[in-house]
Amino acid sequence: MDVRLGIEKYPLVHQPCFLAALFVLLCTPSICDGLFTWQTYKSQQLDGLQALLKAWKSTPKIESNLAGWNESQKYPCNQDVTEDIAPNWRGVQCLQYINCFYTNKENTTRDCSTYIIGLTLQNASIVGSLPRDIGYISTLTTLELTGNPQLTGPLPVTLNETSLYVLDLHDNAFEGEFPFFGDEYESLLTLDLSGNKFNGSFPYLQIKNMVFLQILNIARNDFKGPIPEPALENITQLVELDLSSNALNGTAPTLKTIKNLQVLDLSSNMFTGTLPDLTTMHSLRSVNLSRNAFTGAVLLSSFFNRTENNSLSVLDLSFNQLTTDPNFWNISELGSLQELYLDNNLINGTLNISQLHALGLLRTKITNSSSSTNSTSSVLRVLSLMNNNISKVIYDVNDIANTATVIKLQENPFCNFSDPNDGTRCFCEQFCSISGSTEDSKRKIVIIAVVVSVTSLLILLVSLAALLYRNTKYKRYLQLQVQQRFEEFEVKPTIFHYSELRTATRDFNADLKLGEGAFGAVYKGTLPNGNTMAIKQLFAKTSKGVDEFLNEVILLTGMKHRNLVNLKGCCIREQQRLLVYEYVDNSDVDQVLLSKLNSQLCILIFYFFFEFLQIIFLEH
């Protein structure tokens, strides 16, 4: 049963002209205006999409992760047709306007088929499984569901009812065995099941007839056991083969028939025996056979194509049980290799760096006379032989100074010397520099540090000197101003030092406070000569400046009376203003004038009388 969706075309300024540009063979400008089109969907395909929506209904934030997916919008690919129809289903691709024909004599109505051909949802947080009903979408050519860690369950065998060219399900949580799709299922070009929980033996029967496969990736699953000898012999068009991080064992698979392979990764399995024969492959770029149990001597030319036109640039044979003698390496042996990793193997003896340099196998720094930068020549960019049994390295000063190849020999006996030298620093720590240049560099660093430190210290001293000079100059100016004012009015009060008064009052201790008024507090103080004084500390907030304070001092100094307390002197320090009065004993004026009052109260009356005079003075 087919489902027809009627779509009426509008005037030329709207969508018909857009469709005319895209489908010039299906619609010409002379008949675009007013054309009515029926789009026909296969009802089973629409049912298949609705089954997916039902299986994934627990997906969080479904309105964004599965945008456009809803039961009310049955047609997934109509966004580019009318504005009043809901948008496309996210990730669904359709092939529209196929097999169109006119249904009336006036050529104003036509009927076209629409097929669902693709479903791509990456990192959509899908929750659920893949239902069998996906087989209803028989025209599906691309299925890419990736990065959904809660997309679980087995793969439905009904996938063999589709027309898939690309099946990419990496980084989900599918489980169980990979299903058998039948002997005639051979259309796949890409099969990526990596990063799931598939198990069982190597899916030999399932893939042996996929003769057009270009990418086969089943890495990071739980496939176990050996790979049958003829498992891959029919898949001759492979470009990328990744079987890494499983539990496959036995000998490595035979790959002689796959001549165009570019990327091979068999790492992190349990393969044994000798390395696989890859001499027939001219297009290899990267080979990773690390973390297995391969054994034997490694003569690269015996296992890899080393002709001039080969392209192998990265080879990782680490964490095996291989032996080799680097002294037999030559330009034909290493060929185009740029990175060679042989860590954690059984390589021992001597490594002759000078010989490798002489044969042109290591990159060297070449100084360009027209530029201050360094360029490098071929071949190796990285040579890693860590954790082997290399006890001796032959090199000279030029090998260290001019090398651009990173040579890693950590965890070899050569690196265990207690007295490090240029060689161990270069090959065991990757810090390549001859001692002389190192000492020169250190000397330059010391000189620069001394110069910078001395300069900074001089700047600091000059700043401090300028500050001290400014303060001293201000003090002299203030002292001169005070002397001039006192000479003008012919008064000579004593100018006390602030530290002297501070010591006399024990830093203006509250126990020595005689009282407090609106303008300041009065303290009892004993000077170094033993004289007792009443010291009034004016509040900073009431200070009116030097001139006004001096006027007050002049006024109070000139007032003389036998019943008044005499002003002995003053002190000016930044914002501090202090007046020093004669201290009246308990047996003096208070007994004469107010013998019945408390003696301490009498003393305060005299001091605050002067404060009253200050108020009158300031108001006038």
DSSP string covering 209-233, please?
T-TT-SEEE--SSEEEEEPPTTTTT
Q: Which of 95-104, 205-214, 556-565, 607-616 has the lowest mean pLDDT?
A: 607-616
What is residue 497's predicted lDDT score, i.e. its pLDDT? 81
Amino acid in position 455 = T
- Residues annotated within the binding site for ATP are 536
> Does 552 map to a domain?
yes
Distances (CA, A) of 224 to 177, 292, 327: 11, 14, 38
- Residues annotated within the binding site are 536
CA 315 to chain centroid, in Å, comes to: 29
Over its C-alpha atoms, the chain yields an Rg (Å, rounded) of 48
For residue 191 the two structure tokens come to 């099969």
Q: 569 and 475, same structural domain?
A: no
What is residue 383's predicted lDDT score, i.e. its pLDDT? 92
Write out pLDDT tens, residues 40-71: 888 899 999 999 999 999 999 998 999 989 88
For residue 404 the two structure tokens come to 């651009």
Q: 537 and 503, same structural domain?
A: yes
Sheet with 576-582, side-by-side order of all strands: 494-495, 567-573, 576-582, 532-538, 520-526, 513-516
Q: 602 and 499, same structural domain?
A: yes
Name the CA dihedral angle for 124, 125, 131, 137, rounded to a multiple of 10 degrees: 0
Which residues touch 167 (CB under 8 Å, ≥6 apart)?
143, 159, 188, 190, 191, 192
> Does 8 map to a domain?
no
CA–CA dist 70, 72 (Å, integer): 6
CA–CA dist 618, 610 (Å, integer): 12
> Does 336 map to a domain?
no
Average pLDDT over residues 85-90: 77
Last residue of a domain, one of 455, 488, 521: 488
Last residue of a domain, one of 457, 488, 519: 488
Query: What is residue 415's three-state secondary structure?
Result: helix
Q: Residue 210: phi, psi to the nearest 5?
A: -85, 70
Write out pLDDT tens, residues 374-423: 444 457 899 999 999 999 998 888 778 788 889 999 999 999 876 778 88
CA–CA dist 215, 263 (Å, integer): 10
Q: 500 and 468, same structural domain?
A: no
> Does 561 map to a domain?
yes
Q: If you count DSSP H runs as helices and E runs as strands, how many of each does the chain have, helices first?
A: 15, 34
Write out pLDDT tens, residues 169-204: 999 999 999 988 877 778 899 999 999 999 999 999
What is residue 29's predicted lDDT score, i.e. its pLDDT? 30
- Residue 479: band (very low, low, confident or very high) from pLDDT cuts 50, 70, 90: low
Q: 596 and 577, same structural domain?
A: yes
Helix (H) or strand (E) holding 523: strand 520-526
What is residue 398's predicted lDDT score, i.e. its pLDDT? 79
Distances (CA, A) of 214 to 117, 122, 186, 375: 20, 22, 12, 37
Amino acid in position 173 = A
486 Rama class: left (phi>0) / alpha (psi -120 to 50) / beta = alpha
Does the structure show a pLDDT above 60 at 452? yes
> Does 77 map to a domain?
no
Q: 465 and 557, same structural domain?
A: no
- Residue among 37, 125, 49 at smallest CA distance from 88: 49
Q: 450 and 504, same structural domain?
A: no
Does the structure show a pLDDT above 60 at 248? yes
Q: Which of 191-200, 316-325, 541-550, 575-584 has the lowest mean pLDDT?
A: 541-550
- Residue 439: band (very low, low, confident or very high) from pLDDT cuts 50, 70, 90: low
- Residue among 321, 261, 262 at smallest CA distance from 291: 321
CATH of the domain at 598: 3.30.200.20
Query: What is residue 157's three-state secondary structure?
Result: helix
Mean pLDDT over the full length of the chain: 79
What is residue 3's predicted lDDT score, i.e. its pLDDT? 54
Q: Which range marks the domain in which residue 470 is found?
A: 444-488
State the residue for tokens 């006192």.
486
pTM over 0.75: no
Query: What is residue 563's three-state secondary structure?
Result: coil
What is residue 563's predicted lDDT score, i.e. its pLDDT? 64
Query: What is residue 163's three-state secondary structure?
Result: coil
Q: 555 and 460, same structural domain?
A: no
The more confident residue out of 310 and 596 is 310
The more confident residue out of 371 and 130 is 130
When divided into structural domains, the chain yields a total of 2
Q: 456 and 508, same structural domain?
A: no
